Structure 1
């Protein structure tokens, strides 16, 4: 008999795709807005095939995403509603779509990595962000996924950062402005500049217009390998250092040190491994980093070590109630 643990490991492929398709076709939206329903009723409402839907729902019930009663009626597990409701700041549908449509298609590279090594295999491939930002549609899909991963937690990270008295912040690789918006909402005297590749500019402009941020939200296009970072009292890196190896991280943090005002701070916002190598989400995303970027996830002490090598002192770790946490370094 196969163990429950091995079952989940073997068949996770199916539950991830079932989760994505149920979200894509509005099944969760129906259950949230209309309440418990049977597959036939949901299928009529969403104009999808009832038999295929029932098979998807059986998989989702087996992994406790939905609950099924004896009459074959399904309801969404209440504790999961925030992550599956498109109106919620905790909604993760776009990130799941990224896993299915982007990450899954690259996992085959792991076999070659095992036999040839990552460096040899990647030498024949385009650089990661050439692929991620290959066209407007790909850029938009990636930025939407990153917004969903970042915006909800950003409000808590901003509070943990205690930005009282800070007037200027540069969000390095800040994408369409998830952390920037959270910071601006919390601190009326703050001005934030997002520094990112030129392709990101139009999407940040959409954020500025939607938020009515005016001059408080700025954008500087550039390449953080080729260009100096804009100067500020505080610089932040959210899900950036996990894209790169240790040597590159020290290079970027040294640039941040040079751009940071004396007495200022740098904020690192990342998933963190615990000392036992978990949790699962961090371990899985660490594997994703291996195929999608050139980086990895780290422990809090490893990030502190990178900060100290770059000149920062008085490093501290602040854990959120989400998967993304804050490591702070101060410039003397």
Structure 2
């Protein structure tokens, strides 16, 4: 078998393994004290040495960890920032999100295959009713969003050419991975996150941890039924891929209405190649969007078409070195307002 086929077959094991070695501090121990043998890691953490060894050997084959001739393990340079809890690129919360409930999600995927999503989900709760069902599920979802987005948000904020002052409205901004990065990038900027009420305490904690709480506010609301607060910039970070085209157009029209004349909308998301042949992460996450939300991932052309239909002009794409990119639309001063009030006939 080729390496790609082997990875496809055995990849089922890799994500739960990564979750375990992160959750039980095995990778953290190697980062702080390595290189170490599996036995030394087990002794420090009070874990079973044989199981630690077997888990680490799987991590070796997936390129997360290296094993030297003496049997000591250390993280690879590529993996180290992704599993260092003090690094902005840490993805442990996202790995946890993928792992928890994986069996249930895969069973539902088979039902989608047989009967279609609309039929299977007809009596199922909406995605955000599930994400925010209780404090634990809200925390897990917020952690996943932060770890999925904050690292690349630093680069995206730099690509956005943020103004020296003004107000950023981060619509559906969760606990503020992009808003915090934007405020750190532009010390004269203020930001308000517009999201559902359960998000508030998580945003407050994140703002304090990022050192931007004095310039970061929260407004509770639903962008399908309420107008966004007015601002100089409106950002939509990993929001559009949660919804079908009709709902995305409604969100963008709401953003157009909220955006000051001469202002911009910043859409951040994964992008399919023009021929939909990848990248791998986008293809996998596109499938997860079907399982967890009502949305999908799109090509550059599909996003530009939605932005144009909503009224934005001079739309451009700026690509990061990561897996999320920036699509910018401008609100021209002489453009006719194509938006309908939130909750009107065009609503979802």
Shared topology, TM-score over 0.5?
yes
Q: Name the counterpart of 2:200.
A: 201
Unmatched tracts of structure 1, length 5 or more: none
Q: Which runs of 5+ in 2 are unaligned?
A: 333-348
Q: Deviations over 1:276-296 (max 9, x none)?
A: 421111111111101000001
- Once the two structures are superposed, the pairs formed by residues 259-270 of structure 1 within 5 Å of their partners are 259-270=258-269
1:83 has 2:82 as partner: yes
Task: Provide the rounded CA distance (Å) in 1 between the counterparts of 2:148 and 2:62.
Answer: 22
1:25 alignment partner in structure 2? 24
Q: CA 1:171–1:111 in structure 2 vs 1: closer, same or farther (change >3 Å)?
A: same
Shift in CA distance, 43/264, structure 1 to aligned 2, threshold 3 Å: same
DSSP 3-state at the match of 2:88 = coil
Q: Greater shift after overlay, 161-170 or 314-323?
A: 161-170
Question: Which position in structure 2 is the counterpart of 1:287?
Answer: 287
**Structure 1 residue 216: deviation in Å?**
2.0
Cα distance in 2 for partners of 1:102, 1:155 equals 30
Q: Report the number of matched residues.
A: 331
> What is residue 150 of structure 2 aligned with on the other side?
151
* Aligned-pair CA distance for 1:97: 0.8
C-alpha spacing 1:62/1:119, structure 2 compared with 1 (3 Å): same
Specify the alignment match of 1:272 in structure 2: 271
In the other structure, the counterpart of 1:312 is 312
For the residues of structure 1 that align with 2:76 and 2:232, how far apart are their CA atoms? 44
- TM-score, normalising length from structure 1? 0.96
Whole-Å separation in 1 of the counterparts to 2:317 and 2:55? 41
Instruction: List per-residue Cα deviations over 1:36-82 (Å, max 9, x = no partner).
Output: 12111111111111111111112111222112234332221122111
Q: After superposition, where does 1:27-66 map in structure 2 within 5 Å? A: 27-66=26-65
1:168 and 2:175 matched: no
Paired with 1:44 and 1:214, the residues of 2 have a C-alpha distance of 41
2:87 is paired with a residue whose SS is coil
The corresponding residue for 1:223 is 222
Distance in 2 (alpha carbons) for counterparts of 1:64 and 1:20: 15
Distance (Å, rounded) in 1 between the aligned partners of 2:210 and 2:65: 35
Q: Does 160-169 or 173-182 show the bigger shift?
A: 160-169
> Matched residues in 1 for 2:212 and 2:62: separation?
42
* SS in structure 1 of the partner of residue 79 of structure 2: helix
Deviation at 1:311, TM superposition (A): 0.7
Distance 1:211 1:275, change over 3 A: closer
Matched-pair contact (CA < 8 Å) for 1:103–1:292: no
Q: CA contact under 8 A between 2:64 and 2:76: conserved in structure 1?
A: yes
The answer to whether the Cα contact below 8 Å between 1:166 and 1:234 also exists between their aligned partners in 2 is: no
Structure 1 residue aligned with 2:335 = none
Contact 2:184 2:212 in 1 (8 A): no
CA RMSD of aligned residues (A): 1.4
- In the TM superposition, what is the alpha-carbon distance from 1:86 to its structure 2 partner? 1.0
User: Matched residues in 2 for 1:73 and 1:327: separation?
Assistant: 45
Q: Tell me, in whole angstroms, the C-alpha distance in 2 between the residues paired with 1:284 and 1:165.
A: 37
Q: Which moved more, 1:313-322 or 1:64-73?
A: 64-73
Q: Which moved more, 1:65-74 or 1:168-177?
A: 65-74
- Contact 1:65/1:80 (8 A) holds in 2: yes
